[in-house]
Structure 1
Amino acid sequence: MFIGVPKEIKNHEYRVGLTPESVAELIANGHNVIVETYAGAGIGADDDAYIAAGAEIAETADEIFANAEMIVKVKEPQAVERAMLREGQILYTYLHLAPDPEQTKDLINSGAVCIAYETVTDRNGGLPLLKPMSQVAGRMSVQAGAAALEKAHGGRGVLLGGVPGVKPGKVVIIGGGVVGFNAAQMAVGLHADVTILDRNPEALEKLENHFEASAKVVYSTKAALEDEVCNADLVVGAVLIPGAAAPKLVTRELISKMQPGAVVVDVAIDQGGCFETSKATTHAEPTYVVDDVVHYCVANMPGAVARTSTYALNNVTLPHALAIANNGWKKALSDNRHLMNGLNVAFGQVTYKAVADDLGYEFKAPEDLLN
């Protein structure tokens, strides 16, 4: 198969779809790989590293999209990239379609076969291609929130860990999944006052057993959520409904009741965000203020630590890329139900139910499309 890796063009996105090591694996399996010049610069991989791995180098993205049978990316294709997709071409990347009707419409019109990292599952019901980026984003959320709390950045002027004689900052984490767990690890490590809210009894028990007295674990009722958020210095939104838009758990009214200079970090912004006041921002301008509350809503947080993120991502995306390249997308999906769950759009049909429901499209079962 002819596989193409374009340079990411989303604002301040430094990751790349394939590392030189991943390219070498694909080539060892008999495939051809073409990489856009400077695509790996953000992770310290120059064109020579890709050439040494066996790849060809393209001068433009147009050349990649015109020739490749499968496009491997990190972030969702931007409008100019979507216009270059063609019918039957495989797109393998993060998509996050539910809060993005324009992208969904363009992908439908392209006729491309669009496999989304974030909805591929595993035998335990997890999201293995989303997990490493959730780990990175969870850890970064506290790092970013701590910086935003500094007075120079509009925050309350609170040091999360406090100092002897001064109490630590209060961190509230909404959601106890992968993002929430990793955020809590970081916040506990800084010796902050940490509370984690969740509704899943198994998650609550796991969190309680892991953190013991170093973090409080609370069942998330409306009253508990309001009480914790209103008294927080930093709130991390870490909720996820696979493939669907994130629920707006924190209303505009509740934001207005928070302490002036408090910070919210919405890690769910890729799926539309879980704060009613959230809107996607970039690393160039990561924050804005609503009702004296600083909002950090960067939609590609892991892009800031591109090398760590790219290698972590390739560890989980490469095996499926190999399966698709070796067997073709139809057989690869037919052989692996979990990879089939990643199919979101194909030949003008929406093949992921949560996306179809959220955006008002007719749902086409992927099994029916394969048959």
Structure 2
Amino acid sequence: MIVGVPKEIKTREYRVGMVPAGVRALTSAGHTVLVETNAGVGSGIPDSEYQRVGAQIVQSADEVWKRSEMIVKVKEPIAPEYERIQDGQIIYTYFHLAGVDPELTRTLLKKKASAVAYETIQLDDGSLPLLKPMSEVAGKMAIQVGAACLEKAHGGKGILLGGVPGVRRGRVTIIGGGVVGTCAAKVAVGMGAEVTIIDINLERLTYLDDVFLGRVATLASDTESIAKSVREADLVVGGVLIPGAAAPKLVSEALVAEMSPGSVVVDVAVDQGGCIETCVPTTHDNPTFVKHGVVHYCVANMPGAVPQTSTYALTNTTRPYSRKIADMGLVEAIKADKALARGLNTYNGQVTYEAVAKDLGYNYVSIFDAIGAKGGR
């Protein structure tokens, strides 16, 4: 199979879809890998490292897309890339179709592209192995950027999360006790903040109470507990996920308006539409805005700011599936691997992930009905 790795073009997205070890795994198996020139520079990987393991360095993104049977990326294609998508092409990346430009889904369907979404590849135990590493990075970053936004010079109220003796510590409310919430809590506790985690799963709250040895407060999620904790917080982190679907709006605009001026919200779920009603996607160039006196940080590709950590963490998990698709072809790979099958969001002009179909108003066709109707790659 011919596999292409274009340079990411989203604002300040420095990650790359494949590292040299991933290239070697494919070229050693007889596959061809095309890497756009300088695709890995932002992650500290020069073209020479790709050439050393057998990649062909290609001068333009147009050529990479045109020649490749499968594209391996980090973030979803954005508008300038839509016309580059080839008919029937496999695209293996984060898509978050329910939370991004609806035109992307229309383009994928029109071109009968196979969208294999990192975020919906799901093991039988319900875990999301390709989402986990970036959720870990984003969760830890949420506290770092939140703490910076609380500084007066950045529009915040001027609170130090860890406080000092004789002065109260900063209050952090984390909505969602999954990977994002747990990693955010680790950093917040480490900085000395007063931390509350809210989740709907009581078993998860029991686990968190145990692992944090009582250093965080845990609350069962309901309207009242969310309202009270958000009103009192200096920093609110949104970390709620429903695989493939739009995030539920758990913090209303009215509630944000009740927060004290200079408070901060960081919505890690913004790439799925956000769980805080006032949040809209921002970029690393302009990461924040103020609404109702509250500083909002809503960058949809947070881990792109720390590419030397996040690229390698991500590609450690994406590599086995890209190798399987290349070796077996997409259809046979899906038949052989249920987790990978759950990652297929569009195929042959049909939406094959139920939550995406529901949120975007398309007819849902099961994966195996779709691949049964047409062979394909």
Normalising by structure 1, what TM-score?
A: 0.99
Displacement of 1:105: 1.1
Matched with 2:326 is 325
Matched with 1:178 is 179
Matched, 1:140 2:141: yes
Task: Give the letter aligned to residue 84 of structure 1.
Answer: R
8 Å contact from structure 1 (residues 83, 110) kept in 2: no
How far apart, CA to CA, are the structure 2 residues paired with 1:199 and 1:5? 39
Task: Give the letter aligned to residue 341 of structure 2.
Answer: M
Matched with 2:19 is 19
Matched, 1:249 2:243: no
How far apart, CA to CA, are the structure 2 residues paired with 1:190 and 1:89? 46
Matched with 1:275 is 276
Query: Residues 324-363 of structure 1 correspond to what in structure 2 (within 5 A)?
Result: 324-363=325-364
Task: Give the letter aligned to residue 334 of structure 1.
Answer: K
How far apart, CA to CA, are the structure 1 residues paired with 2:180 and 2:250? 16
Matched with 2:219 is 218
Give the secondary structure class of the aligned counterpart of 1:13.
coil
Matched, 1:79 2:79: yes
Matched, 1:44 2:44: yes
How far apart, CA to CA, are the structure 2 residues paired with 1:207 and 1:102? 40
Task: Give the letter aligned to residue 144 of structure 2.
Answer: Q
Matched, 1:297 2:298: yes
Displacement of 1:244: 0.2
8 Å contact from structure 1 (residues 82, 110) kept in 2: no
After superposition, what is the alpha-carbon deviation per residue over 1:312-360, rounded to whole angstroms, capped at 9, x for unaligned?
0011100000000000000000000110000001111000000000011
CA RMSD of aligned residues (A): 0.7
After superposition, what is the alpha-carbon deviation per residue over 1:153-187, rounded to whole angstroms, capped at 9, x for unaligned?
00010000001111110000000000000000000
Identify unmatched segments of 5+ residues in structure 1.
none
Displacement of 1:202: 1.3
After superposition, what is the alpha-carbon deviation per residue over 1:123-162, rounded to whole angstroms, capped at 9, x for unaligned?
3110000000000000000001000000000001000000
How far apart, CA to CA, are the structure 1 residues paired with 2:353 and 2:214? 41
Matched with 2:167 is 166
Q: Tell me the percent identity.
A: 56
Matched with 2:375 is none
Matched with 1:236 is 237
Give the secondary structure class of the aligned counterpart of 1:212.
coil
How far apart, CA to CA, are the structure 1 residues paired with 2:141 and 2:99? 23
Displacement of 1:82: 1.9
Task: Give the letter aligned to residue 358 of structure 2.
Answer: D
Matched with 1:260 is 261
Task: Give the letter aligned to residue 63 of structure 1.
Answer: E
8 Å contact from structure 1 (residues 334, 370) kept in 2: no
How far apart, CA to CA, are the structure 1 residues paired with 2:204 and 2:140? 18
8 Å contact from structure 1 (residues 76, 94) kept in 2: yes
Normalising by structure 2, what TM-score?
A: 0.98
How far apart, CA to CA, are the structure 1 residues paired with 2:264 and 2:121? 32
Matched with 1:365 is 366
Identify unmatched segments of 5+ residues in structure 2.
373-377
How far apart, CA to CA, are the structure 2 residues paired with 1:108 and 1:88? 10
Give the secondary structure class of the aligned counterpart of 2:97.
coil
Displacement of 1:87: 2.0
Give the secondary structure class of the aligned counterpart of 1:15.
coil
User: Which one is further off, 211-220 or 152-161?
Assistant: 211-220
